Structure 1
Amino acid sequence: MSPKVLVVLTSHGEIIDSSGKPIQKTGWYLCPTYTIEPAVNTFTIKPEFAHPYDVLAPKCEIVVASPKGGAAPLDPNSLQPWVKDDSSSANFFNNKKSLWENTAKVSDFLGRADEFDALFYPGGHGPMYDLATDKDSIALINEFWAKGKVVAAVCHGPAAFVNVTLPNGENIMKGKEVSAFSNAEEDAVGMSKYMPFALEDKIKEDGAIFQKASEPWAPTVRVSGKLITGQNPNSAKGVGEAIASALGTF
């Protein structure tokens, strides 16, 4: 029987400013392009769901959920260069829409960790607003962890871990090497002022050993036991490969 992976996407589709006013659409990321000033280069950032999907789908069953179920919002800003620059993203967007347009509710999977081998959270800014505090998601992570399953996330996906307290009273990330979207990267894309918290800072506060590349956008993946994390969208394929390796399929 093939390994089974539960992917959890955000249900949150708007960036909220300090007054509570929505200022732009968000969600999970496909393949954004960021121009980092004052640098002259444009960095093409790789897909956070498409590339891990390409790694895992040939040998794993993929099931997709979100807090609200139904359509999980795809950040419109993440669609810019994929047709030209990334055939994986183009194929994923054109042929796999049912994966994110018909998600099940996270609550439907509580008590069912034995049915799965891994849990994976792609990023995008949405998880900072809902998955960081979603009670069902937090309970789900606890159940998977208690069963010794692989638990993974990339970019802003590790926001889902910041409020996960294990039965011993410690955060799931405490004492583990963890990577996620860094403060420098958040500053570079001009989104720090809109985030409900600084992800890098919160992960450190939770007792993790935060790991990041020597420069923004470089791929970084950390495997700490059954916990797998990646720094940014360029790390997504590596996270997929690390999940596959942990499941014995890579």
Structure 2
Amino acid sequence: MTTKDKVLFILTSHSRLGDTGRVTGFFFEEMAVPYYALLRAGYDVDIASIRGGAAPVDPASLKDTGENDPAVDRFLNDTKAMRKLSTTKSIDRVDVDAYVGAFIPGGHGAAWDMPGNDVLGSILSTIWARGGVIGAVCHGVNALIGVVDERGVPLVQGRVVNGFTNSEERAVELDLAVPFLLESRLRQLGARFERGDDFHAFAVHDGRLVTGQNPASSRAVAEEMIAALDVQRKQRAA
């Protein structure tokens, strides 16, 4: 039996939406769509979170059965997948050498516990230095803040990236709730920020770095990440 290459998903553990009194967490579609796309492409997926245990779900990302993206309903009815979600490993217990790539779904929770997280930054920097692929979507792109490349400079510096835009944050009226505007911070770090229309699918890649703009971009960013992973897989096999 051939051992499949493994990709690590990392979810937020933060469940408070600033001072709004509202609950947040990870956005289900941004996790479920890439999860099944990677499985179909022949990769195994492990799910970790910042603190471990059951990762908090943003309630705004779940609708009644039949109204979600099909991948969401499939995940909710997938016993094995739901067990992974309820028993995530904390990032400080991750064996980083086991993975050829990492993917970070969004959800507003990621704006609080991912930027500048030393353990998370070390995991992603190590995967990058080993030639792995890093993908993120929407607020999951916050995970890149604090990650450095092999030169010791911010990973996003000089690279094409994308993420939840300033105008999208203002449109959902959370621009004053989040710690900072993601697009602005990425630009401050020297990223070449490219964007699509608000709330429409848009994803970009710069070599082994893949980023998507919003929940609608989940499928596009998964496809871009799989393409990058396949390139690396062929190179390892050569």
- The verdict on a shared fold, with TM-score over 0.5 as the criterion, is yes
Q: 2:224 is matched with which residue?
A: 242
- 2:65 & 2:51 partners in 1: Cα distance? 27
3-state DSSP class of the match of 1:24? Answer: coil
Deviation at 1:202, TM superposition (A): 0.2
- 1:29 & 1:237 partners in 2: Cα distance? 14
Residues 27, 124 of structure 1: 8 Å contact kept? yes
| 1:156-203 C-alpha deviation (Å, 9 max, x unpaired) | 011011122345341100011001000111111111110001000000
Residues 221, 228 of structure 1: 8 Å contact kept? yes
- 1:120 & 1:86 partners in 2: Cα distance? 19
Matched residue type, 1:116:
Y
Q: 2:34 is matched with which residue?
A: 52
Instruction: Give unpaired runs (5+ residues) of structure 2.
Output: 234-238
Per the alignment, do residues 82 and 126 of structure 1 end up closer, same or farther by CA in structure 2, a change over 3 Å counting? farther
Residues 83, 89 of structure 1: 8 Å contact kept? no
- 1:169 & 1:243 partners in 2: Cα distance? 24
3-state DSSP class of the match of 1:49? Answer: helix
Is 1:142 matched up with 2:125? yes
Q: 1:66 is matched with which residue?
A: 49
Residues 129, 150 of structure 2: 8 Å contact kept? no
Q: 2:178 is matched with which residue?
A: 195
Deviates more, 1:215-224 or 1:164-173: 164-173
Give the TM-score normalised by the residue count of structure 1: 0.86
Of 100, 104, 108, the match for 2:89: 104
3-state DSSP class of the match of 2:131? Answer: coil
| 1:14-41 C-alpha deviation (Å, 9 max, x unpaired) | 1112xxxx611100012xxxxxxxxxxx
Residues 3, 247 of structure 1: 8 Å contact kept? no
- 1:167 & 1:238 partners in 2: Cα distance? 27
Give the TM-score normalised by the residue count of structure 2: 0.90
What is the aligned residue count?
A: 226
Q: 1:13 is matched with which residue?
A: 15
Q: 1:84 is matched with which residue?
A: 67
Q: 1:180 is matched with which residue?
A: 163
- 1:81 & 1:161 partners in 2: Cα distance? 33
Is 1:28 matched up with 2:38? no
Q: 1:118 is matched with which residue?
A: 101
Q: 1:225 is matched with which residue?
A: 207
Residues 3, 61 of structure 1: 8 Å contact kept? yes
Deviation at 1:246, TM superposition (A): 1.6
3-state DSSP class of the match of 1:152? Answer: strand
3-state DSSP class of the match of 1:200? Answer: helix
Residues 117, 146 of structure 2: 8 Å contact kept? no
Deviates more, 1:150-159 or 1:77-86: 77-86
